Chain A
Amino acid sequence: MEIKKKIILTGSFGVGKTSLFSRFIYSEFDEKYLTTIGVKVDKKTINIDDDTNLNIMLWDIAGEVAQDKVPLSYFLGTSGIIYVFDLTRPMTYNNILADIEYLKNILPEATIKIIGNKKDLVTTAHIESVISGLPVECDMTTSAKTGENVEQLFQSMGEALMI
């Protein structure tokens, strides 16, 4: 059985959404930073079990300092949201509580995963300190550069969407 779901990558600018997108879809990482204009869409199939394949339509949305700045129409019909912040830049998670509440409000049915990216640039102690200070629970820490936890992130999102 083939099932299609829309997943959105969102968060502040420069947190590595497009890098996670490229790592997951194309298994690539580029050191160059190119800001996303509007939206970039691609798809990938995740195998859930022997009978079920999940076709993920992944929307990589241009970063905004606050989620209420993202055009509301981009969120229409979204099943999963991956909210990404940068473990090295506090300004990308200082507003996290308001952002998550906003997303829960506009998409109460959607599965939300909160991700701390760029873990290759910081120490384990730093990661623990950042996560423990967050007002929301961080689901996973990733590195788009090394690929650490990227596949696991999308696999766990896919499985959560099938429940």
Chain B
Amino acid sequence: MMPDTPDNMDEKLAVIRHILLHGDRARIEQLEKIIQNTDLLSEHVDPIIDHKITNIKGDFSNTFGKEVGAEFEKKLLLSEDLLLTVLSPMMGKMIRKFISIEIKKLQDKIDQQVKRSFSLKRYYHLIRAKVFGIESSALFLADLDDFKTRLQDVFAIQISGLVIASARSEDSKSGDGDIFSSMLTAIKYFGEDSFKKKEGQKQDLEFIEFQNNKIFLQNHHNYYFAAVLNGALNNSEKDKLANQLMEFADKEKKINLPNISPEDSAYLSKQLKKYFF
């Protein structure tokens, strides 16, 4: 028998290690193969993850509800002012637009109802409507002050954009009449040029709508009228306004002059005020 030296001791230990750890090494190699191969790893791990996800989905509110709720509430409180600032004008506009559309629908329904019914009320409204030259639906709505159509300004504007005459109501918000008229004229020409189909084929801009504000335009040979209105405007009111403007143009011939003197302008403005306000 050979004496044990450090060298042969190592060899012996290596043999023993090999015998004892052979099984474990094989298993480790197999595990390494699984870990390094995505497909093999997925086979083992996916069912566990799927099971966990299913559990979380089924019980999300119990597991995380409190934390998420608290965090959301915190964020919401922090941005309350910002949210209100952003949402309020949009909501206001939407509500105004909605009311305006609903009022138009209501007026149309009332018209239909009035046409269908044969009551004394109907004849009463018809007579009133005839006498005052307005739609019967407008009479039904006349008491609802908030939904009345309000005429804010009337301008007679030369094709140059210069104001011939103007009149405004006390609550008008149109700003400087000269700049308004010139810019409106520029916008009108821009629109008309944009939609011109062929050279010489002119199309007139007739109506502009900004939320609850409207600009009704009536074109004449060398000038046009611009009526600024606020509120819901139905077709009968539009027709009535168009007729009034035509009547004014017929009555006040000075408006057709190519060169309006300051005196003529002042006179026509006075007449517009008298006629429309």
Contacts and interface: CB of A to CB of B under 8 A. Distances in A.
B193 interface: yes
Nearest to A72: B193
Given A71-B193, A74-B186, A55 B178 contact: yes
Contacts of A6: 160-162, 182
Nearest to A41: B182
B183 A41 contact: yes
Nearest to B163: A4
A2 B161 contact: no
Given A1-B262, A3-B262, A39 B158 contact: no
Given A4-B178, A41-B182, A43-B178, A57 B189 contact: no
Given A1-B262, A73-B189, A74-B189, A43 B176 contact: yes
- Categorize the interface residue count of chain B: 10 to 19
A38 B186 contact: yes
Secondary structure of the B side of the interface? Answer: helix
B179 A41 contact: yes
A55 B178 CA distance: 10
Interface string B142-165: 000000000000000011111100
Contacts of A21: none
A155 interface: no
Interface of B: 158-163, 176, 178-179, 182-183, 186, 189-190, 192-193, 262
23 contacts: A4-B163, A6-B182, A38-B190, A39-B183, A39-B186, A39-B190, A41-B182, A42-B179, A43-B176, A57-B161, A57-B178, A57-B182, A59-B161, A71-B190, A71-B193, A73-B192, A74-B186, A76-B159, A76-B189, A77-B158, A77-B159, A77-B160, A77-B161
